[in-house]
Amino acid sequence: MTLVAFLSGAGISTDSGIPDYRGPNGLWRRDPEAEKLVTYDYYMADPEIRRRSWRMRRDSATWRAEPNAAHHAVAELDRQPGVAVRVITQNVDGLHQLAGLPSRKVIELHGTARTVTCTRCHVRSPMAEALARVEAGEEDPPCAQCGGILKSATVMFGERLDPEVLGQAMAITKACEVFLAVGTTLQVQPAASLAGIAAEHGARLIVVNAEPTPYDELAEEVVREPIGTALPSLLKRLTDATR
């Protein structure tokens, strides 16, 4: 059984209509102020930031997005005999799961946008329910259980990654035979360091990204073509090689 690990970033979801953050036309480059909407301290301290955040969530392209060819190719690889797939994703859109990859095989480093959590009592509930309240006129809906501040169950700037989730990602990275970094700039730590750790532990490192990354020189193969077409053909070649 060949363990194939993917580290997926925003670039894998752009073909689904979800903009990236740090690319040439990324959200943070176009509107640096938008970072405040997903920065924990600003969010907790300023009701106006929270109201703007809820409007941003309500209008997010995530809710209209469908998995693209790259997501489906990863899920298809998982169905091949002799291959075990694990995805470590920096994305919060849930598209790997919607493409058919079982949730237990997806490690969401930065959480999920499809759930909300209370910052006081930590109860979790579907994002759809919170957005329905926003649509009904609640600009900053409080927790229905305790009245605390609700936030997306994503890791905001200023919050640390869940150490248990990071530990799972690290274990997979060290154990895999093949490690593909797909659609990620490999600039955000600690996620970016996983590519180097995989290579150090003997994995075949493949980078699929439109722009150069700091780990390209460690990679056995670097692919610059559009992910939606490049990844399916790359994974077919990988499947044929493992047979």
SS (H, E, C) 30-74: HCHHHHHHHEHHHHHHCHHHHHHHHHHHHCCHHHHCCCCHHHHHH
CATH annotation of 19-64+112-154:
3.30.1600.10
CA distances from 41 to 4, 22, 143, 209 (A): 37, 21, 18, 32
CATH 3.30.1600.10 domain locations along the chain: 19-64+112-154
Contacts of 122 (CB under 8 A, 6+ apart): none
pLDDT at 36: 87
pLDDT band (50, 70, 90) for residue 188: confident
Would you name the residues annotated as active-site residues?
A: 110
| Full-model pTM | 0.90
Three-state secondary-structure class, residue 151:
strand
Q: Are 87 and 107 in contact (CB under 8 A)?
A: yes
Class of domain 1-18+67-110+161-243: alpha beta
CATH 3.40.50.1220 domain locations along the chain: 1-18+67-110+161-243
What's the whole-number mean pLDDT along residues 48-63? Answer: 92
> Minimum mean pLDDT among 102-111, 117-126, 228-237: which range?
228-237
